[in-house]
């Protein structure tokens, strides 16, 4: 069986399962019953309203028939209580009646919840009440806007989705290489690659969906080299008419937490002027040119921002820029005039996540201050207030590996950054692969540090 078919089978087998992100299983049934009465679930009010409805319906029917059933019922109850009082002392019969009533109430509600749970998530191991509590907590989370592209942004989203469901990822659409580039040239659609990664990162079944979306076909003249995720989004674009609607439809189908938006729907292509005078056209060719970038821009020069992206920035409680390739993932979003203007105008906490290592052909020998200067040169206004930098250096093995590729840790020049007026958030947010010695941002560490910094504001 091919990996693609195997992944599809696993995805189908897990259909309906909602991943348990936060919360723990409750082993005791009594504890589970009382969880339903905890604040914030909006369950108690509906239970009370339901009971009130039953009472009022019964009472209304009794009035409709001139109270005759009520009178007879009261007489019957009175006689029954007198009989029970004569046979069994009230000190015994009263508590027994209360216990029986409470038992029946909880038994009925428990069976109702179990029936609903079996219908909604037949294969899920997490209890419905825990999932509901998690959903409510994430739904009440702050409105976070994350701006970038490439693998850096998707890494950030994997961690952030544990803290809020109100996440909007604004993604660059300047990619022109690989499968995305081919689809862009052959079908005339905006490149879906970075968007694909972000959708997979925000999905509940992240691991399985990532494997499916990243799967590349290895046979066929037309399919070879294409990823399933790119073809999926491209097909959605053809069906819905544009990329924005395609992403929205994909998000509903895959039940992702948050939104993914392109920075612009304009067909944008990057260009860069190098220190040796060369002008390089195309995002994929800029890094390959292996020169020092002096200026970067795009065609057309002033692409129109997506209105939904501008609205997300204006309504945001927290804005995060990066991590990602400086000139080919971060800055392309800022080349959209309305986006950089919106970022400059908001007063919410804004932080830039600097890369851990320099990138050959883009940021050779760059320090943290150099990254900031490159962004300032494009924006001409301040679009963030603080910068997050890695605290510790990678292991000697990783340093040696990266040195062979002419890549080095991004140096934090504290004095320069301080003179520029930016606050520094210094933390260990690095993950180092034990086998390959490659370093990257750790999703959970990065999200935890960013969340704590925001909570202190």
Mapped onto helix, strand or coil, the DSSP state of residue 184 is helix
Structural domain boundaries, residue 278: 141-171+262-453
> Please, which residues bridge with residue 352 across strands?
321, 387
**What's the confidence (pLDDT) of residue 25?**
45
**What's the confidence (pLDDT) of residue 227?**
82
Residue 230 lies in a domain: no
Which residues of the chain have a pLDDT value below 70? Answer: 1-47, 59, 61-73, 108-109, 111-129, 131, 205-206, 219-222
Sign of CA dihedral 312, 179, 324, 250: positive
Residue 70 lies in a domain: no
Q: Domain containing 345 — which CATH number? A: 3.40.50.10680
* 266/306 Cα distance (integer angstroms): 9
**What's the confidence (pLDDT) of residue 390?**
97
Residue 394 lies in a domain: yes
> The pTM is what?
0.75
> Please, which residues bridge with residue 146 across strands?
169, 320
* C-alpha distances in Å from residue 48, one per residue of 31, 55, 202, 328: 20, 11, 36, 56
Residue 147 lies in a domain: yes
Per residue in 255-284, pLDDT tens?
788 999 999 999 999 999 999 999 999 998
**What's the confidence (pLDDT) of residue 397?**
94
Annotate 401-428 with b (16+ C-beta within 10 A) or e (fewer): bbeeeebbbbebeeeebeeeebeebebe
Which residue shows structure tokens 């544990």? 162
Residue 66 lies in a domain: no
Per residue in 359-402, pLDDT tens?
999 999 999 999 999 999 999 899 999 999 999 999 999 999 99
Long-range contacts of 12-18 (CB under 8 A, 24+ apart): 13/123, 14/123, 14/205, 14/208, 16/120, 16/121, 16/122, 16/123, 16/124, 17/121, 17/123, 17/124, 17/205, 18/121, 18/124, 18/126, 18/131, 18/204
Q: Give the tokens for residue 344.
A: 């400059």
Q: What is the total count of domains within the chain?
A: 1
> Please, which residues bridge with residue 167 across strands?
144
Residue 375 lies in a domain: yes
Number of Cβ within a 10 Å radius of residue 58:
13
Residue 113 lies in a domain: no
* C-alpha distances in Å from residue 366, one per residue of 64, 238, 361, 407, 408: 84, 41, 11, 10, 9
Residue 247 lies in a domain: no
**What's the confidence (pLDDT) of residue 129?**
65
**What's the confidence (pLDDT) of residue 228?**
85
* 306/301 Cα distance (integer angstroms): 16
């Amino acid at each position: 069986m091919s990996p693609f078919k195997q992944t599809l089978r696993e995805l189908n087998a897990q259909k309906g399962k909602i991943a348990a992100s936060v919360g723990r299983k409750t082993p005791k049934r009594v504890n589970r019953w009382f969880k339903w009465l905890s604040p914030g679930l909006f369950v108690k009010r509906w239970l009370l309203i339901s009971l009130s409805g039953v009472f009022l319906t019964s009472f209304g029917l009794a009035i409709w028939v001139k109270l005759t059933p009520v009178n007879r019922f009261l007489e019957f109850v009175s006689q029954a209580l007198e009989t029970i009082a004569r046979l069994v002392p009230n000190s015994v019969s009263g508590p027994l009646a209360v216990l029986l009533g409470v038992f029946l109430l909880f038994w009925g509600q428990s069976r109702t919840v179990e029936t609903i749970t079996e219908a909604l998530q037949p294969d899920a191991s997490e209890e419905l009440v825990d999932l509901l509590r998690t959903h409510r907590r994430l739904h009440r989370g702050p409105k976070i806007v994350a701006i970038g592209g490439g693998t850096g942004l998707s890494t950030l989203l994997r961690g952030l989705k544990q803290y809020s469901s109100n996440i909007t990822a604004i993604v660059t659409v300047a990619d022109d290489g690989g499968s995305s580039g081919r689809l862009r040239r052959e079908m005339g659609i905006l490149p879906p690659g970075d968007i694909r990664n972000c959708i997979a990162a925000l999905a509940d079944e992240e691991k399985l969906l990532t494997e499916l979306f990243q799967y590349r076909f290895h046979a066929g003249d037309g399919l070879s080299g294409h990823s399933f995720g790119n073809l999926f989004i491209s097909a959605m674009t053809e069906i819905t008419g544009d990329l924005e609607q395609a992403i929205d439809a994909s998000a509903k189908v895959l039940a992702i937490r948050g939104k993914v938006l392109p920075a612009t729907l304009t067909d944008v292509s990057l260009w860069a002027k190098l220190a040796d005078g060369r002008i390089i056209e195309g995002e994929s060719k800029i890094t390959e040119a292996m020169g020092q970038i002096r200026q970067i821009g795009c065609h057309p020069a002033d692409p129109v921002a997506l209105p939904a992206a501008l609205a997300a920035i204006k309504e945001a409680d927290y804005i995060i820029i990066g991590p990602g390739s400086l000139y080919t993932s971060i800055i392309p979003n800022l080349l959209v005039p309305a986006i950089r203007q919106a970022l400059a105008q908001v007063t919410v906490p804004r932080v830039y996540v600097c890369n851990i290592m320099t990138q050959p052909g883009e940021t050779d020998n760059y320090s943290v201050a150099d990254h900031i200067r490159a962004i300032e040169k494009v924006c001409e206004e301040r679009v963030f207030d603080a910068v997050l930098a890695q605290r510790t250096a990678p292991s000697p093995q990783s340093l040696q590996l990266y040195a062979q590729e002419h890549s080095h840790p991004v140096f934090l020049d504290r004095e320069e950054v301080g003179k520029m007026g930016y606050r520094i958030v210094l933390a260990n947010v690095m993950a180092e692969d034990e086998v390959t010695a490659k370093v990257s941002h750790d999703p959970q560490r990065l999200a935890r540090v960013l969340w704590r910094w925001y909570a202190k504001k």
